[in-house]
A = this chain, B = another copy of it.
Amino acid sequence: MRIGELAGTAGVSVRALRYYEEQGLLASQRTPRGQRTYPPAAVDRVQLIQQLYAAGLSSHTILELLPCVDRGVSTPESQARLAAERDRIDRQITGLLATRDRLDAVIAAAADPTHPSCARMTS
């Protein structure tokens, strides 16, 4: 498949795919005229990259961990990095849970007429 189709299927921009290649995260075959070609498996690969970006990993870190996550190839360094990122994500989840609960409490307080710390017009 060509780059436009991959972008549409994986839900990212064409620019993003070229950027991933530039960062060494995504390989491509080239036609004799220089156009990029991808195997179907590239869709999963791109979505994995997106998932790791969404978790706050940088291009550099993803580059280090991709062989590990994608094909199980690992070194002591990548294992340590992997564990470190896992812990970071874990702390991030903990913080987000606390924030969500705090927002929930505010929402509940605003919806509760018996405890309006704010001015309500429901009379």
Closest to A115 in B: B72
With both chains docked as a complex, state the minimum distance between the C-beta of A68 and any C-beta of chain B, in angstroms: 6
By the criterion CB–CB under 8 Å, are B106 and A73 in contact?
no
Residue A100 interfacial (CB < 8 Å)? yes
Q: Which of B79, B82, B95 contacts A55 (CB 8 A)?
A: B95
Q: Is the interface of A mostly helix, strand, loop or mixed?
A: helix
Specify the chain B residue showing the minimal Cβ separation from A85.
B103
Interface segment out of the listed A7-15, A36-44, A86-94? A86-94
Contact mask A49-76 → B, CB, 8 Å, 1/0? Answer: 0011011000000000000110111100
A104 vs B85: C-alpha distance when bound (angstroms): 10
Chain B hits for A29, CB < 8 A: none
A79 contacts across to B, CB distance below 8 A? 107, 110
Q: Does A102 contact B (CB under 8 A)?
A: yes
**B residues less than 8 Å from A55 (CB atoms):** 95-96, 99
Given known pairs A85-B103, A93-B93, the reply for A110 and B72 (CB within 8 Å) is yes
Tell whether, in the assembled complex, residue B74 and residue A118 are in contact, meaning their CB atoms are under 8 Å apart.
yes
Contact B102 A69 (CB under 8 A): yes
